[in-house]
Structure 1
Amino acid sequence: MIQQEEAVPAGPGRRAQRLAVAAATVTVVLWASAFVAIRSAGEDYGPGALALGRLLAGTVTLAAFCLIRREGLPPRGAWPGIAASGVLWFGAYMVALNWGEQLVDAGTAAMVVNIGPLLIALFGGWLLKEGFPPALLAGMAVSFAGAVVVGLSMSGEGRSPLLGVLLCLVAAVTYAAGVLSQKPALRHGSALQVTTWGCAIGALTCLPFAGQLVSQAADASFGSTLNMIYLGVFPTSIAFTTWAYALARTSAGKMGATTYAAPALVVGMSWVLLDEVPGTLTLAGGLLCLAGVAVSRRRGRAPVPAAPAPVAAVPTSGAEPVQAGKEPVP
């Protein structure tokens, strides 16, 4: 008799998928709030000092989590990815973003930085030999045009805003490189281990700004210092851990796509909290950047396979031929 295959329960898999989606959602909301907090703290702290203060607060918080959970050192295989993501993402990215946000508003910065998912796909095609689909190349062209529009809209205000757009582009590049570096590390270490030590390495990278941090903290307002601590505890220690948790359970490209909603959240938050709204041309350029990312993620419809022609079974000695479309009698 022909036995029907039993359905495999998908409970644990679906539960893990829901947890990954929930973790990614927490990350996006907290990272969106970071753009607003950086803008506020930047009134009293320089880009490097703010990055160092944020990373120190994040490292202390993450170390406490590691002690509570009794997490040891990451395995040897995780260290190359941890070191690369620590320098590029936790270090260079934060300094570039802080500097850029001192020159452009939070919403514009979020829209330009959100080219990162497209760059993740681009670097993946180059470094991971995944190829360059036509949709990716088209999306790159659209996003590049959007970045040019944003840059032109800012250039009328002087060189500084244009520099801010370029710094946000640098942040997008280091963000993408950090994600691609972190993904292999998560095959060996836990999300908490990879995040904690990446944050610590980022803090070491920013140590040259220690003197600046001490001098600026003495004169900074309580609100700016509180925003810096908030950045370390929530958008860094919590959001980067939930990101790593979700990244370990899905692809880098899909995780990059989850940040599409961040610019809209940032524009809304900065409007309410900072009374900042990007100009019409800047907003149009930013939306063009996001449209390019969306185009790059499109997939062509898979062709419907033609139904195979029925093939009659070849009769064996002493057996009747099996007619097409009928099952053999047991």
Structure 2
Amino acid sequence: MGEILGVFAALLSSALGGTSIGATRYLVATLDPLAIGAFRFSLGFLFLLPIAIGKRGGWPPRRDWPGITGLGLLFFALFPMLFNASLIFTTAARGALALSTLPLLTLLVGALLRVEQLTKRKTAGVLIAMLGVGIALLAGLAGAPPGAWRGDLIMVAAAFCMALYSIWSKPFIRRCGPIPFTTMAMAVGAAALLTISWTRGSFQPVATFGTAQWLAVVYLGLFGAALTFFLWAFALERTAPTRVAISVTVNPITAALVGAVLLGEPLGSNLAIGIAAVFTGIWMATTGNNRSTEAIVSGAADELRPGSGS
């Protein structure tokens, strides 16, 4: 039951992440992407803070603070900077396809670190889901600006950061729970983005914001940060990193649907085929014999616990 709950939490997290792209697209016309990230994670932290304070068990132990700080900088500061930088050079469709390498990278890194078992079924599921993303975004992949490969590589680097976060954060989440961990890590990333944005003068356009812009900011903070990344950590607590990471292939699908409804962006018949392939791949990668994988993950978590071993 915990495995199934974790997979559904990851799918919901990625679906919400896709809707957040629509809100980001709306804001990016008037606000620096770094400032959007600063708003998103700062508000997300403020939404999560009272829940974390009221939670029994309190904050993570002090011995975990350096690790959580590093993970916060990796995922809530470096990742959004690489993500935004990649879209300067490449298209949204190509960027989404590059980001969909996340489950493959997570699978490979997890196998190298002996955190997760590499199986044929799981690998096939990951590749089919990635193929589904490519099919769904086929129309947007046709045209690419000169030098788009640079943006593609930067996005793969962003996906690599997310893969490391998904693997390294699991033992911390198991010890303190998803809400305290996410709150502290998000606070670190938000502080970094706020400092950079303030130094760059990125908040000046806020003076011209109307009700629609503020609603988009609040949506990003509540749903695009607090709920999305709590669900991601919740999923990592209950299932293997690759089973969580493969859900990111739902993100561009949801973004395409939101773009069609709210922004009038066109949809092709290939979207339905892509959706079917994505969910087929997710089903393959998240079903089968889970015992051996979970044993490896649990053992790795115990090994990473401070004070364990000799």
Establish whether TM, by shorter chain, passes 0.5: yes
Match of 2:58, SS state, is coil
Equivalent pairs counted in the alignment come to: 285
Cα 1:127–1:221 shift into 2, 3 Å: farther
Matched to 2:196, the amino acid is P
Correspondence for 1:72: 58
Q: Distance in 2 between matches of 1:25 and 1:295?
A: 12
- The structure 1 residue matched to 2:28, chosen from 28, 34, 42, is 42
- The structure 2 residue matched to 1:128, chosen from 114, 122, 125, is 114
**Would the aligned equivalents of 1:191 and 1:245 in 2 still touch at CA under 8 Å?**
yes
Matched to 2:52, the amino acid is C
Q: CA deviation at 1:64?
A: 2.2
Q: Does 1:29 align with 2:15?
A: yes
Correspondence for 1:249: 238
- Give the TM-score normalised by structure 2: 0.73
Q: CA deviation at 1:120?
A: 0.6
Match of 1:176, SS state, is helix
Which of the pair has the greater relative contact order for Cα pairs under 8 Å at 6+ separation? 2
Q: Does 1:228 align with 2:217?
A: yes
**Would the aligned equivalents of 1:54 and 1:232 in 2 still touch at CA under 8 Å?**
yes
**Would the aligned equivalents of 1:38 and 1:101 in 2 still touch at CA under 8 Å?**
no
Q: CA deviation at 1:35?
A: 1.6
- The structure 2 residue matched to 1:210, chosen from 194, 198, 202, is 198
Show the 5 A alignment for 1:1-330. 14=1, 16-17=2-3, 19-69=5-55, 72-101=58-87, 108-128=94-114, 130=116, 156-159=143-146, 162-206=149-193, 207-211=195-199, 212-277=201-266, 297=285
Matched to 1:209, the amino acid is S
Q: CA deviation at 1:223?
A: 2.8
Matched to 2:215, the amino acid is L
Cα 1:157–1:256 shift into 2, 3 Å: closer
**Would the aligned equivalents of 2:243 and 2:286 in 1 still touch at CA under 8 Å?**
no
**Would the aligned equivalents of 1:118 and 1:296 in 2 still touch at CA under 8 Å?**
no
Cα 1:24–1:158 shift into 2, 3 Å: closer
Q: Distance in 1 between matches of 2:196 and 2:14?
A: 30
Q: Distance in 1 between matches of 2:286 and 2:58?
A: 41
Matched to 2:258, the amino acid is M
Identity, in percent, stands at: 26
Cα 1:278–1:177 shift into 2, 3 Å: farther
Cα 1:224–1:71 shift into 2, 3 Å: farther
Matched to 1:234, the amino acid is F
Structure 2 unpaired stretches of 5+: 290-310
Cα 1:156–1:241 shift into 2, 3 Å: closer
Q: Distance in 2 between matches of 1:19 and 1:35?
A: 25
Q: Distance in 1 between matches of 2:281 and 2:105?
A: 9
**Larger fraction in helix:** 2
